């Protein structure tokens, strides 16, 4: 326990400060960047209705990969089209529409997913557990935009946890175990590694959806073979196994505890919005969940209206060990021993007393 505690206590130092070169570049273009503690960057002086210079966009994309998110302050009364166009600055430069359009969505724009704590203004109850957006896609979203069209008077923010720092905080034996795991999305059958290397920062980062996982596959270890070599090698079915119910519950609880610990250990933040905040998240680097207050009624908290836009990634988050990107969970599994193999809905119920809608 002492080793784990030391690793957790040291984690905040693994979230780098803003690159001075990037900071100077932003200042040259009239932007002020302020580090939030312990992660995230606040940007003032921008009007996202006008495109930023390409060099600034590239610098901010790197900073998102390192520090998790940026937030443009004072972007009030953005139109639907203005929000969507600004979101095309990141990733592959294309929007990924994922949900039905709520009747209150501005301009009925299919690229905007409107959330609220009043069903007259948006969709209720979104994202109560730790997750990343687009886990049902092979190319999970590179970035997500959260635009607070109306902030509630009494709070209702978002919790963020840095997944590279979270990996660093794990004891070495658990790092080695999680690097041998691949999760399978219960709704789509898409598979992703539980630990991936971020394409921009190069950091090993944890990645698991607590509300939409139907199976987790383990590649069995081989003495003397480094994990990087195992990940590159196609594995035989005999070298793979499914996690059973007890193992999945342990994994999900450990992951939940790891991200919950982020607030005390310096790699998580409880972000509180102002009206007009436009927050962009690197979705490969940062897990998130809605704060409990976000789901309280408008009568309790004040009306909350948030518009989400999701951005396509340049590449797939591909599984290791030669496993296919798409797996048919509705069919029989090929493994020698039984484990959890569950298709549809919210996937494996690792805890019965919490809401699981994501």
| Model confidence pLDDT, tens digit, residues 222-245 | 998 999 999 998 989 999 999 999
- What is the reported pLDDT for 2? 40
Neighbours of 52 (CB within 10 A): 20
C-alpha angle 62-67-71 in degrees, rounded to nearest 5: 90
DSSP conformational letter for 123:
B
- CA 358 – CA 354 distance, rounded (Å): 12
Q: For residues 277 and 151, is the Cβ–Cβ distance under 8 A?
A: yes
- CA 206 – CA 197 distance, rounded (Å): 9
Neighbours of 153 (CB within 10 A): 11
CA 28 to chain centre: 31
Of 4-8, 62-66, 245-249, the poorest mean pLDDT is in: 4-8
| Both tokens assigned to 158 | 């978002």
- What is the reported pLDDT for 301? 96
Of 7-16, 124-133, 293-302, 308-317, the poorest mean pLDDT is in: 7-16
- Of 138, 288, 279, nearest to 210 by C-alpha is 288
End-to-end CA distance of the chain: 33
Tens-digit pLDDT profile for residues 33-58: 999 999 999 999 999 999 999 999 99
- What is the reported pLDDT for 127? 87
Edge to edge, what strands does the sheet with 143-150 contain? 32-35, 41-44, 69-72, 278-282, 143-150, 305-311, 113-116
- Quick check: 356 pLDDT over 90? no
E strand residue ranges, the chain? 32-35, 41-44, 69-72, 113-116, 143-150, 158-162, 181-185, 191-193, 195-197, 204-206, 213-219, 240-242, 268-271, 278-282, 286-290, 305-311
Residues forming a β-bridge with 72: 43, 278
DSSP conformational letter for 106:
G
Neighbours of 331 (CB within 10 A): 10
Instruction: Report the run of H or E that residue 169 belongs to, with start and end.
Output: helix 163-169
Instruction: Report the run of H or E that residue 5 belongs to, with start and end.
Output: helix 2-9
- What is the reported pLDDT for 6? 39
**Average pLDDT over every residue of 175-193:** 96
Q: For residues 306 and 157, is the Cβ–Cβ distance under 8 A?
A: no
- CA 345 – CA 305 distance, rounded (Å): 26
- What is the reported pLDDT for 9? 43
- Quick check: 11 pLDDT over 90? no
**Residues of the chain with pLDDT > 70: what percent?**
95
Tens-digit pLDDT profile for residues 94-144: 999 867 799 999 999 999 999 999 999 999 998 888 999 998 999 999 999
Q: How far is CA 19 from CA 72, 84, 101, in A?
A: 18, 28, 39
């Amino acid at each position: 326990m002492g080793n784990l505690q030391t690793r957790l206590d040291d984690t905040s130092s693994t979230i780098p400060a803003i690159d001075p070169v990037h900071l100077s570049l932003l200042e040259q273009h009239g932007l002020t960047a302020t580090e939030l503690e312990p992660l995230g960057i606040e940007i003032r002086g921008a009007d996202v209705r006008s495109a930023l210079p390409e060099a600034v966009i590239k610098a901010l994309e790197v900073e998102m990969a390192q520090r998790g998110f940026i937030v443009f302050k004072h972007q009030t009364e953005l139109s639907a089209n203005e929000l969507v166009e600004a979101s095309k600055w990141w990733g592959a430069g294309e929007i990924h529409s994922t949900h039905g359009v709520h009747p209150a969505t501005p301009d009925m724009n299919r690229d905007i997913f409107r959330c609220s704590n009043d069903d007259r203004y948006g969709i209720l109850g979104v994202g109560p557990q730790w997750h990343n957006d687009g886990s049902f896609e092979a190319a999970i979203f590179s970035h997500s935009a959260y635009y607070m069209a109306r902030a509630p008077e009494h709070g209702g923010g978002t919790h963020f946890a840095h997944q590279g720092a979270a990996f660093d905080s794990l004891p070495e034996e658990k790092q080695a175990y999680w690097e041998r795991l691949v999760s399978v999305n219960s709704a789509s059958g898409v598979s992703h590694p539980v630990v991936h290397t971020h394409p921009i920062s190069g950091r090993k980062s944890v990645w698991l959806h607590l509300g939409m996982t139907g199976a987790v596959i383990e590649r069995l270890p081989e003495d003397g073979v480094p994990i990087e070599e195992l990940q590159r090698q196609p594995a035989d079915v005999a070298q793979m196994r499914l996690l059973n119910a007890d193992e999945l519950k342990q994994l999900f609880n450990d992951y939940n505890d790891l991200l919950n610990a982020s607030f005390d250990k310096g790699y998580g933040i409880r972000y509180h919005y102002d009206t007009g905040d436009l927050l962009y998240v690197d979705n490969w680097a940062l897990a998130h969940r809605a704060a409990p207050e976000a789901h309280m009624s408008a009568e309790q908290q004040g009306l909350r209206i948030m518009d989400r836009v999701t951005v396509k990634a340049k590449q797939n988050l591909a599984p290791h060990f030669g496993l296919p990107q798409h797996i048919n969970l509705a069919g029989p599994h090929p493994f020698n021993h039984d484990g959890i193999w569950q298709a549809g809905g919210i996937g494996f119920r690792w805890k019965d007393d919490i809401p699981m809608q994501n």
